[in-house]
Every structure is written in C-alpha cells, then in structure tokens.
Structure 1
C-alpha cells in the first residue's frame, strides 16, 4: 500500500524526471565506514611452515578425566515411583503365566506382558520397611534369602548392612523345622556344659527375594509362625506370604533396590534400639546416684 501511495503522489513521474524534483523530496544518505589501516596487516604467507602448524607436544598430553558420580544411598525416606520405574520393577510376566490373585496389583497389559502398578509397590514396600524397622528396634533377627543366580552378592550385602543373617546358596530342607540336626553341628558348644546339644535360634523375620524357588522355606516359616516379606511377581500368589511386595523379581537392579531399602530400614531400627538402650542406662545410673545420695 505504501508503494502505491508513493506512485500516486508523483503522478506517474518517470525516473528521468526525479532529478528535477525540488530538494524537499530528496534526502541525502551518507554511509560512514571505519578507517582501514593497511599498515597493520602483515603478510606471513611466506613465513608459514609445516612445523608452525603442528601444536607443541605439551598440549598433546592426555589429561585424565575422572568423573565422580555422587549417589545417595537408597532409603525408605528418598524412595519414590520414579526410582522404582527406573529399576524396572513395573515389568511383570507374560499374560499366559498370570496369577489371578495378583489382579489388584496389575495396572494393565502391554504387548502380552502384565504391567505392575508401582503405586501399590511403593505402599507395600514401605509397609515392609516399617515391619523390618520395628523388629530391629525390639532386638529381633532378620534373615535374607536370595538363592537365584545373581542374587548372592546383594543378599550378603543387605544382611551385612543391618547385621542380619543370609542364605545365598541352596535352602537346606529342615533348616527351621529340624534345626538341631541341620544347624546344630555348625553351632558352637556351650562352654558351661559341653555335653549339652548347642542351642539354635530362629529368625524373627524372613526377607525372601525369590519365593518361587523357595517353597520349602515358606512352608517351614509358616509352620514356625515366622512372618515373611517376599517379592511377588505376577506369576506368584501373594496370599502365600505375610507381607507381599508386588514387583518384578527378575530384575537384579530392582531386587537390589528392594533389599537395600529394607536393610536400611532395619539398620535404622537397630540404631534406634541402641539409642534407647543408652538412654535407659543413663536414666538407671542417674536414679542409682540419686538413691545413693539420699
């Protein structure tokens, strides 16, 4: 529109008549350019050599780059659904192996694989952590059982973290129901009466990482009324254990996360028990001193 108005204002004046227009219709345009000093340019083309193009050997030395990743230990306090999802705990088994009792824990199916609802996993995992913490506060013993190949190291680490016990090999039948014959030979004799058979102890809680391969351990724990915390996948009945955790039991990373969280909760409970015992001892000493002063 501006170009049309400009052409109409001149009434069709051609380009040759533009020079005859008054100065009021023209405007002088001046372009300022910086001064170019030709003396500052030095022609070094003739002085360039191959050696000058190669960088010095000192700059070619390899510098060791060490990346340090600071990872926080997994505890029940910093646990969330994103970490469970990253560990692959939402992937269940094929729908052909589906156990109908796991229906409340299944979010849906995708490409023939059952997807576990991690909201339920988080709730049941926190409940198992509370159970392990309370048992540790009361001075109970916790037994970690992981007999599947690849679970041995993480089972031992979880037991050592909370000063518990572990079974990383094959579960020997009769470990709980016939403990005097199975475990009695490994127990140390009584120093006061060496002839008496050694005393064996039973765990107060069993954390089972692969319940599908340890049906005998579950049966023995039920006979001895020992609660069981177990990872139940979509192909296992969660009603067979006391505290089920719906999650993928084939992911080593996910099983390690669950074992680490439960052992951390048990460690917190043991530390809390130590604090309570110290406080109780201090109170008893204080009351004893007060009684002596009187």
Structure 2
C-alpha cells in the first residue's frame, strides 16, 4: 500500500491552513499552531488520517467498488480528471449540478443525450443540418461534455466520493449524505469534519498539496483494482 511520509507532506505545503479568523472551531483538534495569523495543521495527524483513507480506498477497490472524484475549483480541476482517469473512476471537475446524485434519473437522461450528440458528431450529422441548428447542437454538446464527461460512463450511483474543498462542494456532500455514500475529503482549517466520513486534514488550495493527497488515494485504488484483476486471472 503506497504511503506518504511527513517530509513529502511538508514539501507539498499540506500543513498550511487559512487565516486564523476564517477557521472552523471543529478543526481545532487537527491544528498544530498559529503563525502570522495562519493556522498550521498537525502533519502527524494528517499523515495518520491519510493512511486510514488510503486503507479504506484499497479495501473498497478490492471489493470492486466505484469512486467519484469531485473538485470544481481551478486548482483541483485538472488533477481531479487526471487521477480519476487513471483508475477508470468517475469525476466532476467543473460546476456541480444540483441533483447529480439525488436526481439520478434526470442525470441519466442528460448523459444519454450527450452520447446521442457525440454519435451525431461522429457520423457528421451536424454537417447536414442548417448552420444555425448545427451551431446550436455543437454548443449543447460542448456544454454537456464540460459538465458530464467525467460521469458519462457511470451506470449507477458511486460507492465512494472523494472530495476537494468541502466548503465549495457542500451541495455534493449533502447529496452523498442523503444517499449514504461515504465521503473522503481533504479538510482545510475552515471545514467541518462532522460532515464527512473520512477526513484528511490538509491544504485544499495549493495544487501540490491537492495532487499529493489525491495521488496517494488513487494509488491505493489502483493497487486494489490490480489485486482484483490478478485474482480473476487465476
């Protein structure tokens, strides 16, 4: 199981929290100190909780469970797509559309429409349409791809959600809680640990911090998936 050490967390700036006045008091147990009005997270706890999150991902992957990566902020968008793609997981890296999970039937219909438009594009159907209609369909296709490309092949609700920036993705977290989907989330000092199942205290603004934590979680997903493949080939 791939693990991250304290030196790696320190180098990636995982310990840097928000300005002290922005903190959520519920994060107090995970804060080491305050420097220049900035809260500093306790990396010993971050490392331990990341280890627990890694173990959870490994075990879930070994059971064939599916993962949904969610992170729509600019710093996380590219990393979310990259990591999810590596393990054939699902992802949302642009705006979260309310009801993406709790209104699954409607989402499925939009996904089917996306696939229909993609097939039409592949078959050069757009070229046969009047320019105005073709432009409209192309615009629809681009919009649907932007928001739904990462869940296009999701045939059922995910088993586990991995989230970057709890504050920004609060709607997604509420939907997961409503449906009983376990949530693993990077928690900065302004977050509420009570809203997630598996917290990973860390800097959710720095790209290096986000990438390090997501890579660690995803490496364990990949390890679990590989174990399943090996067992199936016996």
Return the TM-score normalized by structure 1: 0.64
**Aligned structure 1 segments of 4 or more residues deviating by more than 3 angstroms:** none
Which of residues 189, 209, 217 in structure 1 aligns to 2:164? 209
**Matched ranges for 1:139-150 at <5 A:** 139-150=64-75
Q: Secondary structure at the match of 1:267?
A: helix
The match for 1:165 among 87, 90, 93 is 90
**Which one of 245, 250, 264 corresponds to residue 219 of structure 2?**
264
Match of 1:233 among 188, 192, 200: 188
**Tell me, which stretches of 5 or more residues in structure 2 are unaligned?**
117-153
Alpha-carbon distance in 1 for matches of 2:193, 2:75: 23
SS in 1 for 2:2: coil
**Displacement of 1:200 after TM fit?**
4.0
Corresponding residue SS for 1:143: strand
- Give the aligned partner of residue 120 of structure 2: none
Provide, for residues 90-118 of structure 1, a one-character-per-residue CA deviation record: whole Å limited to 9, x for no partner. Answer: 11111111211111111111111111000
Aligned residue in 2 for 1:76: 2
Unaligned runs of 5+ in 1: 1-74, 190-198, 280-294
Q: Distance in 2 between matches of 1:146 and 1:200?
A: 21
Contact 2:75–2:205, Cα closer than 8 Å, also in 1:
no
Match of 1:181 among 106, 109, 114: 106
Which residue of the partner structure matches residue 113 of structure 1? 38
* Structure 1 residue 209, shift from structure 2 partner: 1.0
Deviation digits for residues 252-294 of structure 1 (CA, Å, limit 9, x no counterpart): 1100111111111000000011112222xxxxxxxxxxxxxxx
CA shift digits 1:39-78 (9 cap, x unpaired): xxxxxxxxxxxxxxxxxxxxxxxxxxxxxxxxxxxx723x
Give the CA RMSD over aligned residues: 1.6
Asked which structure has the greater RCO (Cα within 8 Å, sep 6+), the reply is 2
**SS state at 1:184 partner:** helix
Alignment partner, residue 155 of structure 1: 80
Greater radius of gyration (CA): 1
Please report how far the alpha carbon of residue 220 of structure 1 lies from its aligned counterpart in structure 2 after TM superposition: 0.5
